[in-house]
Structure 1
Amino acid sequence: MALENLTVLIVEDGDEYLENLSRFVPGPTYRQVRSGAAALSALAAGDVDLVYLDMRFDRIPRGDLLGDHAAATREHNGDPLRGWRYLENNQGLFVLNALHAAGYGGLPVILAYDFSREAARLKHLQARYPRLSWVPDAVTPEAIRERMLEVTQS
Structure 2
Amino acid sequence: MNTEREITVLIIEDGNEYLENLSRFVRGYTYLQAHTGLEARQILASETVDVIYLDMRFDRIPIEDLIGDLEHATRIHNGDENRGLKYIQNNQGLYILADLKEHGFDSLPVIVAYDFSREPQRYEHLARRFPTLQWVPDAVTPAEIRERIEDTTSHIAR
What TM-score do you get using the length of structure 1 for normalisation? Answer: 0.96
Shift of 1:46: 2.6
Deviation at 1:139, TM superposition (A): 0.2
**Matched residue type, 2:11:** I
Aligned to 1:32: 33
Q: Please list every run of 5 or more consecutive structure 1 residues that lacks an aligned counterpart in the other structure.
A: none
Does the residue aligned with 2:95 lie in a helix, a strand or coil? helix
Q: Which blocks of at least 5 consecutive residues in structure 2 are unaligned? A: none
Task: Using the TM superposition, give the Cα deviation of residue 152 of structure 1 relative to its aligned residue in structure 2, in angstroms.
Answer: 1.4
Residue identity over aligned pairs, in percent, reads 59
Separation in 2, partners of 1:84, 1:18 = 25
- Return the offset for 1:11: 0.3
Tell me the SS of whatever aligns to 1:142: helix
Distance 1:32 1:39 in 2: 8
Distance 2:39 2:88 in 1: 17
Q: Which residue of 1 aligns with 2:144?
A: 143
Query: Partner residue of 2:154?
Result: 153
1:62 maps to which residue?
63
Which digits, 9 at most, give the CA deviation of each residue in 1:46-80, with x for residues without a partner? Answer: 31111100000000000000000000000000001
Q: Deviations over 1:124-154 (max 9, x none)?
A: 0000100000001110000000000111126
For residue 5 of structure 1, report the CA deviation from its aligned partner. 1.6
**Mapped partners of 2:143, 2:129: distance in 1:** 28
Which has the larger share of helix? Answer: 1
The answer for the alignment partner of 1:71 in structure 2 is 72
Partners of 1:111 and 1:42 lie apart in 2 by 18
Q: Are 1:97 and 2:98 matched, yes or no?
A: yes
How many Å separate the matches in 1 of 2:74 and 2:146? Answer: 39
Higher mean C-alpha deviation, range 38-47 or range 68-77: 38-47
1:9 aligns with 2:6: no
Q: Which has the larger radius of gyration?
A: 2
| TM superposition outliers: structure 1 runs of 4+ over 2 Å | none
Which residue of structure 2 lines up, in the alignment, with residue 110 of structure 1?
Answer: 111
How far apart, in 2, do the equivalents of 1:123 and 1:151 lie? 18
Deviations 1:5-37 (A, max 9, x none): 211100000010000000000010001110011
Distance in 1 between residues matched to 2:32 and 2:105, nearest whole Å: 17
2:129 aligned partner, one-letter code: R
Provide the alpha-carbon RMSD of the alignment. Answer: 0.9
